[in-house]
C-alpha cells in the first residue's frame, strides 16, 4: 500500500482507456475503488473483469450533472479523487463541444467540491494540448502555450486550461489538496479503435489491410508513452506529499515523426498497406515533446517501456479485439497472442 495508507479512490472516467488501467493497479495495491462514468467514450468491456470484485463499484452518471448522492454517503468517504472524465481524442471531443467544455469546467468543479467536503486529495488529468501548437520545444511546465481559443479544438484545449485554473484556485484557497498532470500522447491496450488517435488509427488500418492515413506530410512529431508508464506517473503524482508542485508533465521524451511511427507499425504487422496523405487538421501541433525534468526530480519518474515493446502489446491487443476477422488471425498468432493481452505490466502491486 503506497505510503502505508489505505485508499478509497473515486475514478471519474474510469471506464476509459487510461482510467481502467489505473483502476486495475489501484485494486492490485489493495485500494477500494469506485468508478464514475457516463460511458460517452468509456467502454463497459474495460471493466467486465471486475464484475465480481468486492472492492470495486460502478456508478453510472455524467459529471456535468449534480453528482449522485451515493458518492457523498459516509461509507463512501474518499481519500483520493482522480478526474479522467473527458473525451480525449479530437473526433470525440469535437462531436459535442459544449459537453466537452462543460465536462472540464462544471465536472471538475463538482469533483473539487466533493474533494473539499471529504478531505480527499484531487488529481486532474490535464493535457499537453494546453501548450497548443508550441513555439517552445520541448515543452516545460513554465511555457504558457500557443492555443487558438476560438478554433475547433478550443472546447478541449481551453476547457482543460480552465479546469487547471479552477483546480489551482481551490489549492490556493486551501479548499482542496490538488495535483495536476499534463498528459502527453499515451497508447496501449484498451484504446478504442475509433478514437481517431494516430497509434490506434495506424495499427487498426495496418491490421485490416486498409490504406494508412497520414495527416499532413508525416513530418510532424509526437512522443508516445505506454499506458503502464502513464499510470505509474499518475500514482506517483497523486502520492506526492511535498509542497504544491504545480502542473507536472507526464509523457515519453523520445520524439519521432508520424512517418517513423507508420514504418514501425507496418514492419511489426507485416502490412503492405498504401500510405495516403490527407490535409493536416486545423491547429494540429507540428511538434510535441515533454520536458519531464520536474517529474524526474519530484517523483523519480521516467518511462521504462520502449516503443517497440509497447507497440507489440498494442498491436496484439487490437488483433485480439478484431479477431473475428479471419484475415487478422495470422497477425495475432505471429505475436503469440490470441487472448486479450493487457501488455507489459511495469508497475508492481507492492510498489
- The Cα-based distances of 223 to 26, 28, 108, 338 in angstroms read 26, 28, 27, 29
DSSP helix/strand/coil, 32: strand
Asked if residues 228 and 347 have their Cβ atoms less than 8 Å apart, the reply is yes
The answer to whether residues 232 and 295 touch, using CB atoms and an 8 Å cutoff, is no
- Determine how β-strand 247-250 pairs with β-strand 177-183: parallel
Residue 156 annotated among the catalytic residues of the structure: yes
CB 221 within 8 A of CB 256: yes
Q: What angle do CA 266, 267, 272 make, to 5 degrees?
A: 50
Could you give the angle at the alpha carbon of 39 between the alpha carbons of 36 and 45, nearest 5°? 95
Catalytic residue among 82, 93, 156, 187: 156
C-alpha angle with apex 315: 311 to 321, nearest 5 degrees?
145
Cβ atoms of 2 and 239 closer than 8 Å: yes
Known catalytic residues are: 156
Amino acid at each position: 500500500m503506497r505510503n502505508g495508507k489505505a485508499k478509497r479512490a473515486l475514478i471519474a472516467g474510469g471506464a476509459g482507456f487510461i482510467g481502467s488501467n489505473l483502476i486495475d493497479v489501484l485494486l492490485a495495491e489493495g485500494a477500494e475503488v469506485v468508478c464514475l462514468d457516463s460511458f460517452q467514450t468509456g467502454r463497459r468491456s474495460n471493466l467486465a473483469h471486475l464484475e465480481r470484485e468486492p472492492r470495486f463499484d460502478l456508478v453510472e452518471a455524467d459529471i456535468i450533472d449534480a453528482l449522485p448522492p451515493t458518492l457523498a454517503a459516509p461509507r463512501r468517504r474518499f481519500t483520493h479523487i482522480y478526474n479522467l472524465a473527458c473525451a480525449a481524442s479530437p473526433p470525440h471531443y469535437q462531436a459535442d463541444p459544449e459537453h466537452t467544455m462543460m465536462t472540464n469546467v462544471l465536472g471538475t468543479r463538482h469533483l473539487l467540491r466533493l474533494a473539499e467536503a471529504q478531505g480527499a486529495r484531487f488529481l486532474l488529468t490535464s493535457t499537453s494540448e494546453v501548450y497548443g501548437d508550441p513555439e517552445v520545444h520541448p515543452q516545460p511546465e513554465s511555457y504558457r502555450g500557443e492555443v487558438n481559443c476560438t478554433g475547433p479544438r478550443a472546447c478541449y484545449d481551453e476547457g482543460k486550461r480552465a479546469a487547471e485554473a479552477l483546480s489551482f484556485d481551490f489549492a490556493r484557497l486551501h479548499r482542496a489538496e490538488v495535483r495536476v498532470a499534463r498528459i502527453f500522447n499515451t497508447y496501449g491496450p484498451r484504446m478504442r479503435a475509433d478514437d481517431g488517435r494516430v497509434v490506434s488509427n495506424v495499427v487498426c488500418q495496418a491490421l485490416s489491410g486498409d490504406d494508412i492515413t497520414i495527416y499532413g506530410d508525416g513530418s510532424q512529431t509526437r512522443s508516445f508513452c505506454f499506458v503502464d508508464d502513464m499510470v505509474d506517473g499518475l500514482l506517483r503524482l497523486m502520492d506526492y506529499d511535498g509542497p504544491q508542485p504545480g502542473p507536472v508533465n507526464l509523457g515519453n521524451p523520445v520524439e519521432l515523426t508520424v512517418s517513423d511511427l507508420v514504418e514501425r507499425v507496418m514492419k511489426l504487422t507485416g502490412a503492405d498497406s498504401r500510405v495516403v496523405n490527407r490535409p493536416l487538421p486545423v491547429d494540429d501541433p507540428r511538434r510535441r515533446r515533454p520536458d519531464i525534468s520536474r517529474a524526474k526530480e519530484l517523483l523519480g519518474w521516467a518511462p521504462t517501456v520502449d516503443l517497440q515493446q509497447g507497440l507489440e502489446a498494442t498491436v496484439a491487443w487490437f488483433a485480439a479485439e478484431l479477431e473475428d476477422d479471419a484475415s487478422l488471425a495470422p497477425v495475432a498468432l505471429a505475436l503469440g497472442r490470441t487472448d486479450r493481452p493487457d501488455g507489459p505490466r511495469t508497475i508492481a502491486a507492492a510498489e
